[in-house]
Structure 1
Amino acid sequence: MTAPGIALTEPIGPAGAPLVVLAHSLGTGPLIWEPVVPQLITDYRVTLLSLPGHGAAPVPGDAFSMEELADAVAESVRGLADSACFAGVSIGGALALTLALRHPDLVGRAVSIASAASLGSAEHWNARAATVRAQSTSVLIAASAQNWFAPESLEREPELIGRILHALQDTPDEGYARCAEALAGYDLRDRLGEIRVPVLAIGGAQDSVAPEDRQDELVAGIARARKVMIEDAAHQPPAESGAAVSAALLAFFGEEQA
């Protein structure tokens, strides 16, 4: 099986600074990190990851698992640094947790944002993939606009949120579908105890997809995990409340390793 293709931007930030890898949510892109990146690049080198079939990453021709995706990301990141901190939203958070499990030598710290140890049933994601292949990602826009963003976020960040929804519409259908099928097989609930690196679970207080109890599940299962809840955010916290997410990331990444 061919490894899924991803894309990493050229890192920006001070030469020699620790590397931070930021992964986006399904059907969006690195633009969700725009409010956060300027806060991080003072102290870190930052690279933005595009999932298979999103943005600059090639549309996958074959199915892949989250484990295979994590291995492909790890191989690419090793070309940039010996270790890195990872943060991701939704499927990007699932990727961060999978990397922490499979590549603890590479992952210094992992941040799961608006994510969980599992994200819906296999039936849900396989049906979603079939729907997108039949009707395109455009069919998802109305529900995503409602589920992804807190009402105050829509008032505070209308321009960015509009661009995010356009990114969903522009995501290649097969790229979205293949990532959805990878989520169909994603379930780390029985393996959380194997994750040894520090983990931060960031949740949106208004997130119906990965609510606070799913963040509590991560904290209970991972020895070195804790949570931060963002009050005025739902399922896309970096785009909705960039200042709060930036502060949480800087505090977490800046801690001395135990």
Structure 2
Amino acid sequence: MAKPTVKAVLLSPQRELGAKPLLVVGPSLGTSTVLWTETAALLGDDYDVIGWDLPGHGISPTVTEGFDVAELADAVVDLVDSVSPESAFHYAGVSLGGATGLQLGIKHGHRLRSLSVQCSGAKLGTPEGWLERAGTVRKLGTPVMIQGSAERWFGPGFMDRQPEISSRLLHALRDADRFGYSFCCEALATFDVREQLGSITVPTQVIAGVEDSVAPPSLAEETAEGIRAGGGSAVVETLDGVGHLAPAEAPAAVADLMRTFMKENGL
């Protein structure tokens, strides 16, 4: 195992960093920072928004050996420190990016102002399923995932209503490195922090799409209950008609929920 390197894109207006509170946003497997473009635009006047890409996705370099989600969280902290050393930040992430957020809460909670876990949970899928997918993509490349991902990612009718946004996301999947994607699958195969949720003390928001078959609202409730069991604070929000990529599917709703939560918890 080796800690990967992740790269960032500034999603808010160009200005000197530090004038606004820092918000770091993380992606779902197979996507890039384009997942957050619309939501970040709605939050960019109030927050410095930085999006990071998974290994082999977007602008992040790929990897040649495995890593786990805890090491991905370490890489995000290194990224923040390269931009604003030792600063506290708000964090929001989707699916694997949300799993990374839970690891941040467990391991680096003192750095977080708030945590928004979206379309994710403390355990996603099955090890067998992730390992099978890793093998398939390593052999055939990421385009083999496009049809299945389109079905899993979006709520009913979204691709017809928003062809440009859905096309950008599916192009990010097509362009992802097969090895980086496969190593991310293997990281998800070993990810299970259900027994550690009680150690999260940072205020946490868990957002779920009603139409999400990967991380349904029941998983969001389980995640929040695990945090509350340790004395932490966690709220659950559900979005009708939304599938697995909430910030792209419902940017206004997600931005409103995040803004309210962040202002209630720090800045």
Which bin holds the TM-score, normalised by the shorter protein? over 0.9
Q: CA RMSD in A?
A: 1.5
Offset of 1:137 from its aligned partner? 1.1
Counterpart in 2 of 1:189?
194
Q: TM-score, normalised by structure 2?
A: 0.93
Deviating above 3 A after TM superposition, structure 1's stretches of 4 or more consecutive aligned residues are 10-15
The DSSP-based 3-state class of the residue aligned with 1:110 is strand
Alignment of 1:43-54 (within 5 A): 43-54=46-57
Please give the alpha-carbon distance, in whole angstroms, between the structure 1 residues aligned to 2:100 and 2:75.
11
Alignment of 1:168-207 (within 5 A): 168-207=173-212
Alignment of 1:10-25 (within 5 A): 10=10, 12-13=12-13, 15=16, 16-25=19-28
Counterpart in 2 of 1:119?
124
Alignment of 1:104-183 (within 5 A): 104-183=109-188
Q: TM-score, normalised by structure 1?
A: 0.96
Task: Give yes or no for contact 1:232–1:241 (8 Å, CA) kept in 2.
Answer: no
1:102 to 100, 107, 130: 107
1:42 to 35, 41, 45: 45
Counterpart in 2 of 1:9?
9
2:80 to 70, 77, 89: 77
Counterpart in 2 of 1:244?
253
Counterpart in 2 of 1:253?
262
Counterpart in 2 of 1:219?
224
Task: Give yes or no for contact 1:8–1:49 (8 Å, CA) kept in 2.
Answer: yes
Offset of 1:167 from its aligned partner? 1.3
Q: Which runs of 5+ in 2 are unaligned?
A: none
Amino acid at match of 2:48: R
Offset of 1:183 from its aligned partner? 0.7
Task: Give yes or no for contact 2:203–2:265 (8 Å, CA) kept in 1.
Answer: no
How many residues are matched? 258
Task: Give yes or no for contact 1:12–1:45 (8 Å, CA) kept in 2.
Answer: yes
Residue 215 of structure 2 is aligned to residue 210 of structure 1 = yes
1:29-70: per-residue Cα shift (whole Å, max 9, x none)? 110111101111111101111111111111111110111111
